[in-house]
Chains A and B, each alone.
Chain A
Amino acid sequence: DAMVIQNPRYQVTQFGKPVTLSCSQTLNHNVMYWYQQKSSQAPKLLFHYYDKDFNNEADTPDNFQSRRPNTSFCFLDIRSPGLGDAAMYLCATSRDRAAEQFFGPGTRLTVL
């Protein structure tokens, strides 16, 4: 089945220690998104790639960066995680920006 895969499902890191979250897709979609979701809140868009074009939300902290080396993979790098960065991180893909998004299962990040 075509799908969106996120690894790891659970990530524990220490305050200030860089961490990378991974997302891959078999849907061959043009657009890949990263969302941050805190408890009992809506997903908050951090950034997205339309093909190779990177689009950063205005309020995404500089601490968060992303890479998309090819169509299938996208990475979220958190350079110096703080306690406030503990959240669920969701990856999603879509055929284009107007189409429905397909979500991965998420990575739960804990910062100690």
Chain B
Amino acid sequence: AQSVTQPDIHITVSEGASLELRCNYSYGATPYLFWYVQSPGQGLQLLLKYFSGDTLVQGIKGFEAEFKRSQSSFNLRKPSVHWSDAAEYFCAVGSFNNDMRFGAGTRLTVKP
């Protein structure tokens, strides 16, 4: 069965520092991978997605993620965090003809 694990429930970083949010998946087929961001009381916004091709994916708001098949990971990174990046981040996995499954989320706090 497909599953997504986000090992970090809560991460705090200082503004301007780099960020990496971890995501590991378990999947029998070729996965499609996504990162979404959710601000309090809002819906989810897609940051980036991986279907195939280049394993380093660029997204919106300066985020990127790297697909590492050997590690079953799809970690999200940003070189310099802004206070407005404070939010909940969800990794998700899907595949052809299968519904998307979300990880439990990582809450990001940004210190001034």
A residues in contact (CB < 8 Å) with B: 4, 6, 33, 40-43, 45, 48, 88, 90, 92, 97-98, 100-106, 108
Point out the residue from A6, A42, A100 that lies within 8 Å of B103, measured CB to CB.
Answer: A42
Which residues from 21 to 51 on chain B have a C-beta closer than 8 Å to any C-beta of chain A? 32, 34, 36, 41-46, 49, 51
Question: Does B100 touch A at the CB level, under 8 Å?
Answer: yes
Of the stretches B11-19, B71-79, B90-98, the one at the interface is B90-98
Cross-chain pairs A/B with CB under 8 angstroms, 16 sampled: A6-B43, A40-B107, A45-B99, A48-B99, A90-B43, A92-B43, A92-B44, A97-B97, A97-B99, A98-B32, A98-B98, A101-B44, A101-B46, A103-B43, A105-B43, A106-B43
- Contact between B44 and A100 (Cβ–Cβ < 8 Å)? no
Output the residue of B43, B44, B102 with the most chain A CB within 10 A. B43
B42 and A41 contacting across the interface, CB-CB below 8 Å: no
Question: What is the CB-to-nearest-CB distance from B50 to chain A, in angstroms, rounded to a whole number?
Answer: 10
Interface positions of B (Cβ within 8 A of A): 32, 34, 36, 41-46, 49, 51, 90, 94-100, 102-105, 107
CB distance from A55 to the nearest CB of B (A): 8
Tell me whether B41 and A103 are in contact (CB under 8 A): no
Give the complex CA separation of A92 and B51 in angstroms.
19
B102 touching A42 by the CB < 8 A rule? yes
Given known contacts A41-B104, A42-B104, A42-B105, A97 and B98 CB-to-CB distance under 8 angstroms: yes
Q: Which residue of A lies closest to B98 (CB)?
A: A97
Whether A101 contacts B100 by the Cβ 8 Å rule is yes
**A87 shortest CB reach to chain B, Å:** 13
The reply to whether A98 and B94 form a contact with Cβ atoms under 8 Å apart is yes
Q: Find out whether the CB atom of B41 lies under 8 angstroms from the CB atom of A108.
A: yes
Which B residues touch A90, using CB under 8 A? 43-44
The verdict on A43 contacting B46 (CB below 8 Å), with A98-B94, A108-B41 known, is: no
Residues of A within 8 A of B32 (CB): 98
